[in-house]
Amino acid sequence: MATLRLFANLRELAGHSRVEVEGETVGEVIDRAVARFGAEFAAGLGSAAMWRNGEPASASDPIEEGDELALIPPVSGGGNVMVGEMVDASLVTGLLGLLILIGTNLAPGSAWWAAGLVLLAALWATDLAARLTDRGRAPATVGILASFVIAAVATHVLGGIGFGLTLFLAVAIVMGWGVAIPDYRQLEVVAPSVLVALVGSAAVGSLMLTRTFFEEEHHAISILIVVAALSAVTAVVLSRLRMPVLDPYSGTALAAVVGAVVGAVLWGEDIVGYILIGLGLAVALVAGRSLGSIIRTGRLALSETPPGPMTTLDPLLFAAALYYPLVSIVL
Domain around 160: 79-330
Q: Are residues 55 and 133 in the same domain?
A: no
Q: Are residues 21 and 139 in the same domain?
A: no
Inter-residue contact 19 to 4 (CB < 8 Å): yes
DSSP-derived secondary structure letter, 48: -
Q: Are residues 27 and 126 in the same domain?
A: no
- From residue 149, how far is each of 121, 178, 205, 257, 311 by CA, in Å? 10, 19, 10, 31, 22
Q: Are residues 20 and 145 in the same domain?
A: no
Q: Are residues 11 and 105 in the same domain?
A: no
Inter-residue contact 196 to 142 (CB < 8 Å): no
Overall residue count recorded for the chain in this entry: 331
Within 8 A by CB and 6+ apart from 35, the residues are: none
Q: Are residues 185 and 275 in the same domain?
A: yes
Overall domain count for the chain: 2
Q: Which of 72, 93, 114 is a domain's end point?
A: 72
Q: Are residues 91 and 59 in the same domain?
A: no
Say what the pLDDT of residue 17 is.
Answer: 78
Say what the pLDDT of residue 193 is.
Answer: 93
Q: Are residues 134 and 177 in the same domain?
A: yes
Q: Are residues 278 and 322 in the same domain?
A: yes
Q: CA triplet 253, 212, 204: central angle to 5 degrees?
A: 55
Q: Which stretches of 107-219 are DSSP H helices? A: 111-134, 141-158, 160-180, 187-218
Q: Are residues 55 and 108 in the same domain?
A: no
Within 8 A by CB and 6+ apart from 6, the residues are: 14, 16, 17, 18, 19, 71
Q: Residue 10 belongs to a domain with what CATH number?
A: 3.10.20.30
**DSSP state letters, 4-45:** EEE-HHHHHHHT-SEEEE--SBHHHHHHHHHHHH-HHHHHHT
Q: Are residues 266 and 140 in the same domain?
A: yes
For the chain (331 residues), the mean pLDDT of every run of 10, in chain order, is: 81 81 89 86 76 83 87 53 48 85 93 96 94 84 95 95 93 90 85 94 97 90 95 82 74 95 95 96 94 84 73 93 96 88
Q: Which of 72, 88, 106 is a domain's end point?
A: 72
Inter-residue contact 295 to 132 (CB < 8 Å): yes
Say what the pLDDT of residue 178 is.
Answer: 83
Q: CA triplet 243, 249, 254: central angle to 5 degrees?
A: 90
Say what the pLDDT of residue 303 is.
Answer: 59
Q: Are residues 242 and 173 in the same domain?
A: yes
Q: Which of 72, 87, 118 is a domain's end point?
A: 72
Q: 3-class SS at 243? A: coil
